[in-house]
Structure 1
Amino acid sequence: MGLRQNLAQFMLLVAVNALVGGTLGQERTVLPLLAGQVLHLDLYTPALTYILAFGLAKAGTNYFAGTLSDRYGRKPVLVTGWIIALPVPLLLIFGPSWGWIVAANVVLGISQGLTWSTTVVMKMDLVGPSRRGLAMGLNEAAGYLGVAATALATGYIAANYGLRPGPLLLGAAYIAVGLGLSVFAVKETRDHARLEAANHTSAHADAHGELGNREIFTLTSFRDKSLSSVSQAGMVNNLNDGLSWGLFPVLFAAAGLSIDRIGILAAVYPAVWGAGQLVTGALSDKYGRKWLIVGGMLVQAVALGMIALGTGFGIWLAAAILLGLGTAMVYPTLLAAIGDVAHPAWRARSVGIYRLWRDGGFAVGALLAGILADAFGIPTAVAAVGALTALSGILVAVRMRATDHQRAG
C-alpha cells in the first residue's frame, strides 16, 4: 500500500479518469447552445432538464457504485460504466428532439456514477491514509482537466463545423479508449482496502468495521458532523457547477460573445479547477481539510457575484478563474475528508453516499437555476446561488470538526 509502491497502476487510473471527464466535457459548450439554436427551446427550465436528468441518474448510481464495488470488486463496476456509455454519443448526434438529449444524459449519468466513483475508490485503496488528499487532487485534476480540454476542443470544432456531429465524435473516441484500458490494463484494488481495514480504527464501527447500509447512510448524511458537513458542501458545490454548465453559455451568448469565446469561458473554469487540485489536495494533507473547504466555498460565492454583476469577456474570464480556484480548494478536500472518517470496510459506500448528495446538486441546481432564471433573469439566478454558497461555507465553519490526514472527526 502506498503511492510509490502502486505508481504505475495509480497513474493509469489517473489517465482513465481524464477520459471519464472528457466524456462529460463533450457537452459543456455544445448542449446549452443546441437547446436554443437547433431544438428551439425558449425557456430555461425545460432546457435544463438534461442536467436534472444527469444529476439524478449520477447521484443515484453513485450510491450503488459503492455498494457494488464492495460486493463484486472495483474493476467490474468500472468496466460496466464504460459499456453503459457506448450509446451516448449516438443519442446526442442523431437525437431529433430534446427528449433524446435528456435520455442520453440519463445514460451518461449512470455511466459517470459508476466510472468516476470507482476511480475515486480505487485510488483511495492504493495510496492509504497519509497521501489521500494528494490522491484525490490528482484524480479530480485529471477528470476536470479532461472536462476543460474537451470543452475547449468542442467549442473550436463547433465554431468551424457546427454543433453536430463533429464535437460529439470526440466523446465517442474517449469512451472506446477508456473501455479498452479498463478491460485490459486496470487491476482490481479491493484487497488493498482489506489490508488497510485490518489495521484501522474508527469511532463509528465495531472491531471489524461492520455497519449496515442504513447506519452508514445516516452517519454520512446527518449524524456525523464532519461527514454531513462535507455532504451538504458537496451538494452546493455541484449546484454551482450545474448552474455554470446550463446557464453560463446562454448568458454569454446573449451578451454577443462568439462560440469560440464561449468555449474559452466554458473551459477556463474546469481547467483552473482541475489544475488547482494538484496543489490543494496535497495542502489538505499538510494543513487539514476544514478551512480549505470554508475558504473555497466563500471564494466561489465571490466569483458568482462577479458573474451576476459583470458584463463582458474580461470580467467573466476573471470570475471563471476565481470560480475554478474556489472549487479546486473544495473538491479533493471533501473526498479526502470522507476517506479520513470512513472505515475502509465501508468507505466505498460512504463515498457513494457523499457522491449521491454531491451530484444531487446538479439536479437541485438545474431546477433552482431554471425557475429563478425564467422568473427573474439569469443574473438574479446566479446571485441567489452565490448567496447560498456563502451560507454553505459558513455552515462548514460552524459545524465541521477540524481535520488532519489521520482523522476528520
Structure 2
Amino acid sequence: MTRPALDRPARATVLGLRQNLAQFTLLVVVNALVGGTLGQERTVLPLLATEEFGLDLYTSSLTYILAFGVAKAATNYLAGTLADRYGRKPVLVAGWLIALPVPLLLIYGPSWGWIVAANLVLGISQGLTWSTTVVMKMDLVGPHRRGAAMGLNEAAGYLGVAATAMATGYLAAHYGLRPAPFLLGAAYIALGLGLSVLAVRETRDHAHLEATGHVTTHTHAHGSLSNRQVFALTSFRDRSLSAVSQAGMVNNLNDGLAWGLFPVLFAAAGLSLGQIGILAAAYPAVWGALQLATGALSDRWGRKGFIVAGMLTQAAALGLIAAGSTFEMWLVAVVLLGAGTAMVYPTLLAAIGDVAHPTWRARSVGIYRLWRDGGFAVGAVVSGVVADAFGIPAAVAVVAALTAASGGVVAVRMRGRDHTGA
C-alpha cells in the first residue's frame, strides 16, 4: 500500500548545480520570461514617445526610464529583505502578479503619463522577480559554481530581452507600435506566473545549509548583521562590495542610455525599423550569450580582471557609437558593447555572493541591485540633459568617460581575490 503523502520523507537539501539541475533549469526559463517582459519595450517605447506622443525633449521622453530605474532600484532592496524574512518563492510570485496590468497600460494608455506609470509598475515587478531568481540560483549552487550560475541566469534574462526586442521590432514594422508588440509581453507574464506558482520550489533552506559551513576571511562577514550594517558594508565600507556597487550603477547608466536614446539616434540617421530592431537586439543578444562563458571563467580566473576589462570595453564601444553614422559601424559598436557588458554583469553578481555571508547575502544582493538599477535613473537624467543641450553623440561620449572612470575605481579599490576566486 502506498504510504500517505505526510509519511513520505522530505527532499534532502543539497547544494550544487548538478544536484539541483531541474529547479535551476526551471529558474533559468523563468528569468528568460522576466527578461522578455522588459524586452517588449526596448525597440518600441523610444519611438512611441516621439512618433505617437510627440515628445521633443529627450529629458521628457526618458521619464519612463527614470520611473523604471527608481522603482526597480528601491524594490531590489526590499526584495532581498523580504526574501530573507518570508522566503524566495512568495516574493517571486508577488513580482509576477504586480506585472499583470503592465501590457494593458502600454496598449491603452492615452497619454505619456500612463506609459510612465506602466514603467513604474514594471520596475517594481522586475525588482522582485529578477532579484529573486538571482538569489535562488545562488542558494541552489553553493559557493563553487556561483559565477557559472550567474552567467546562466543573466544570459537567460538578456537573451530574453534580445529576442523580444527583435520580435517587437518586427511586429511594430508590420502591425504598428500598438498593440501587437505588447501582447507578447502579456503572454510572458501569464506563463511566468504559472510556472512560479506551480513548479518553482523554495530555496531558503539551501542558504541556511551553506551558512553552516561558510568559511570567510572577513571578520565582519558573520551572520548577525542588521540591515543598516549590511547596507553600509555593501555600499561604502567593504572595498570589494562598494567597488562592485558603483560599477553596477555605471553599467546600468550606460544601459539606460542605450535603451532610451539609441533607437532615436538610429532613426534620425534614416535607419529603418527593421535595422533599429536588429541593433536594439544585437547588444543584449551578445551580452546574454557571452555570459555563459564569462561567468564560468570568472570562477577560474577571478572577478576583478573581468570587471575592469569589461568596463573599459564598454567605454570604447560607446566612443564608437558617438562617432558612428552608419548601420555597419553601429552594429560593430553594439556587439562590442554587449561583449563588454557580458564580462561585467554576471561577474559583479558573483563577486557580491563571494563576499556576503549566506545569512545576509540576499540583502547584500538587493542593496547592490539598488545601486546598479539606480543607474537607469541617473542615466536618464544625465543623458537626457546632455542630449538636449549638445545632442545625443555628446551624451554618449560623456557616458563613455564615466564608464572608463568606473573601471579605474574597480582597479584601484577592489581586492584581487575574494573567496572562490573573486
TM-score exceeds 0.5:
yes
- CA contact 2:263–2:276 (8 Å) conserved in 1: yes
Consecutive unaligned residues in structure 1, runs of 5 or more: none
Question: CA 1:208 to 1:335, structure 2 compared with 1: closer, same or farther past 3 Å?
Answer: closer
Structure-to-structure mapping, 1:5-404, within 5 angstroms = 5-204=19-218, 209-403=223-417
CA drift of 1:205 comes to: 5.6
* Percent of matched pairs sharing the same residue: 80
Q: Which whole-Å CA distance do the structure 2 matches of 1:403 and 1:189 have between them?
A: 28
SS at match of 2:17: coil
State the TM-score, normalizing by the size of structure 1.
0.99
CA drift of 1:136 comes to: 0.1
Q: Which whole-Å CA distance do the structure 1 matches of 2:357 and 2:323 have between them?
A: 45
Query: Which letter maps to 1:289?
Result: R
Q: Which whole-Å CA distance do the structure 2 matches of 1:109 and 1:203 have between them?
A: 36
RMSD (Å) for aligned C-alpha atoms: 1.0
Query: Which letter maps to 2:318?
Result: L
Query: Which letter maps to 1:379?
Result: P
The CA deviation string for residues 333-354 of structure 1, in whole angstroms up to 9 with x for no partner, is 0000000000000000000000
Q: Which whole-Å CA distance do the structure 1 matches of 2:129 and 2:360 have between them?
A: 19
CA drift of 1:69 comes to: 0.3
CA drift of 1:208 comes to: 5.4
- CA contact 2:43–2:165 (8 Å) conserved in 1: yes
Aligned residues: 408
CA drift of 1:206 comes to: 6.5
CA drift of 1:64 comes to: 0.4
State the TM-score, normalizing by the size of structure 2.
0.96
Q: Which whole-Å CA distance do the structure 1 matches of 2:220 and 2:364 have between them?
A: 16
CA drift of 1:209 comes to: 1.2
CA drift of 1:366 comes to: 0.2
- CA contact 2:303–2:421 (8 Å) conserved in 1: no
CA drift of 1:113 comes to: 0.1
Question: CA 1:208 to 1:229, structure 2 compared with 1: closer, same or farther past 3 Å?
Answer: closer
Matched, 1:2 2:16: yes
Q: Which whole-Å CA distance do the structure 2 matches of 1:151 and 1:388 have between them?
A: 27
Q: Which whole-Å CA distance do the structure 2 matches of 1:200 and 1:46 have between them?
A: 48
- CA contact 2:355–2:419 (8 Å) conserved in 1: no
Structure ID, larger Rg: 2
Q: Which whole-Å CA distance do the structure 2 matches of 1:357 and 1:399 have between them?
A: 17
The CA deviation string for residues 23-49 of structure 1, in whole angstroms up to 9 with x for no partner, is 000000000000000011011000000
Question: CA 1:321 to 1:296, structure 2 compared with 1: closer, same or farther past 3 Å?
Answer: same
- CA contact 2:92–2:129 (8 Å) conserved in 1: yes
CA drift of 1:403 comes to: 2.2
Question: CA 1:347 to 1:278, structure 2 compared with 1: closer, same or farther past 3 Å?
Answer: same
- CA contact 1:132–1:405 (8 Å) conserved in 2: no
- CA contact 1:130–1:405 (8 Å) conserved in 2: no
Question: CA 1:212 to 1:163, structure 2 compared with 1: closer, same or farther past 3 Å?
Answer: same
- CA contact 1:284–1:404 (8 Å) conserved in 2: no
Query: Which letter maps to 1:257?
Result: L
- CA contact 1:151–1:267 (8 Å) conserved in 2: yes
Q: Which whole-Å CA distance do the structure 1 matches of 2:331 and 2:57 have between them?
A: 26
- CA contact 2:299–2:421 (8 Å) conserved in 1: no
Consecutive unaligned residues in structure 2, runs of 5 or more: 1-14
Q: Which moved more, 1:399-408 or 1:355-364?
A: 399-408
The CA deviation string for residues 234-267 of structure 1, in whole angstroms up to 9 with x for no partner, is 0000001000000000000000000111000000
- CA contact 2:67–2:116 (8 Å) conserved in 1: yes
